[in-house]
Amino acid sequence: MRIGKQDQAFTAIATSDADSITVRGYDLCNELIGQIDFTDYFWLLVTGDKPGDVQRRMMNACLVAIAEHGLVPSVQAARMTLAAGPEAWQGAMSAGLLGMGSVVAGSSEIAGRYLGELLERVEEDGRDLEQVIIESLEALKGQRKKVPGLGHPQHSGGDPRADKLLEICDGLGLSGKYVNTLRVLASHAPRIIGRALPINVSGAIPAVILDAGWPLDAIKAVPLLARAAGLSAHLFEESQRPIGFIMSHKADQAIAYDGVTSSANKKSA
Ligand SMILES: CC(C)(COP(=O)(O)OP(=O)(O)OC[C@H]1O[C@@H](n2cnc3c(N)ncnc32)[C@H](O)[C@@H]1OP(=O)(O)O)[C@@H](O)C(=O)NCCC(=O)NCCS
């Protein structure tokens, strides 16, 4: 069966023969291994080019900012999965990565696309940024939808990771249209939505890394790569000093059954 267009049967990432491996035009063994920093390699792999100094520093800052935040739901899922299947790190790691969705931990992509859409309306329709943002916030409020990249359950007074990333971005001279859009958004949101809504780390990451030149369609790779490092720490700790079953026991104690009892079923039968 043939599905989809068949006219671009190419990959530009890597190729190999019996003696060598070529990655993005570099000889892996002679030009990359032992010579390239992993953040540079990540940038090279994804974009096809090595980053400049400011791009590397911005990416490093993002990866460090999002790698770890304690026993968040995706980490709990990973640790409980390892407790149940200690022989399968890959299963436990996958459980953690699968939990990085649009609400927490994985929301950078949604926020990045939202900033992109706002800018598209400004650039393509020649509209005023503030007006576009005000209209969009009013629409989200009307539909009772969340503003991507804003709000945090714990850091309600301001997410320190977001503030630090924006400060670094300003310091590196990278802040441009995405950071500006995020800041204008955050300045209008509290009034329109009717509550304090600080910029969160998943709003700051796309803004700073898009301004650094990272592609919009690869935003999700940033938190995924970073959290793989944090999950590695949790899985190693789980293997040495397990808490997975403690967490599952506490959850069992915390959640009460309010379904139909078997005696009630018997009576109605
Ligand atoms: C992260 C998040 C889940 C935290 O939520 P929270 O502080 O626990 O708040 P809740 O989801 O319980 O919502 C409480 C109220 O605040 C509102 N609210 C919270 N974040 C909001 C946002 N970003 N935009 C609009 N309203 C928001 C909710 O609609 C709700 O209003 P209601 O009481 O009238 O129903 C939430 O802010 C969010 O979904 N943000 C967007 C997604 C995002 O950026 N996630 C990355 C987090 S690092």
What is the C-alpha to C-alpha distance for residues 199 and 159, in angstroms, rounded to an integer?
Answer: 7
Q: Whose CA is nearest to atom 12 of ligand 1?
A: 153
> Which residue intervals of the chain are DSSP H helices?
38-47, 53-66, 73-84, 89-98, 108-125, 129-142, 160-171, 177-189, 201-211, 221-240, 244-254, 262-268
Q: How far away, in angstroms, is 143 Cα from ligand 1 center?
A: 14
Q: How far away, in angstroms, is 46 Cα from ligand 1 center?
A: 32
One-letter amino acid identity for 72?
V
158 vs 234, residue with greater confidence: 234
Q: Whose CA is nearest to atom 22 of ligand 1?
A: 146
Per-residue pLDDT at 79: 98
Work out which ligand 1 atom sits closest to the CA atom of 149: 44
Q: How far away, in angstroms, is 104 Cα from ligand 1 center?
A: 10
71 vs 124, residue with greater confidence: 71
Q: Are 111 and 62 in contact (CB under 8 A)?
A: no
- Give tens-digit pLDDT for 161-187: 999 999 999 999 999 999 999 999 999
Residue 198 clears pLDDT 80, i.e. is over it: yes
Q: Report residues whose beta carbon is within 6 angstroms of any ligand 1 atom.
A: 103-104, 107, 111, 146-153, 193, 195, 197, 200-203
Q: How far away, in angstroms, is 75 Cα from ligand 1 center?
A: 21
What is the C-alpha to C-alpha distance for residues 113 and 56, in angstroms, rounded to an integer?
Answer: 22
Residue 269 clears pLDDT 70, i.e. is over it: no
Residue 9 clears pLDDT 70, i.e. is over it: yes
Q: Whose CA is nearest to atom 2 of ligand 1?
A: 152
For range 141-154, the mean pLDDT = 94
Q: How far away, in angstroms, is 151 Cα from ligand 1 center?
A: 5
Q: How far away, in angstroms, is 257 Cα from ligand 1 center?
A: 27
Per-residue pLDDT at 73: 94
Residue 193 clears pLDDT 90, i.e. is over it: yes
Per-residue pLDDT at 145: 97
Pocket test of ligand 1: the residue of 110, 146, 155 to mutate, having most ligand atoms within 8 Å of its CB, is: 146
Best CA proximity match to 25, nearest among 53, 57, 47:
47
Q: How far away, in angstroms, is 189 Cα from ligand 1 center?
A: 12
For range 30-34, the mean pLDDT = 98
The overall average pLDDT reported for the chain is 95
What is the C-alpha to C-alpha distance for residues 19 and 27, in angstroms, rounded to an integer?
Answer: 11
- Give tens-digit pLDDT for 49-102: 999 999 999 999 999 999 999 999 999 999 999 999 999 999 999 999 999 988
- Sorting pLDDT into bands at 50, 70 and 90, what band is 268? confident
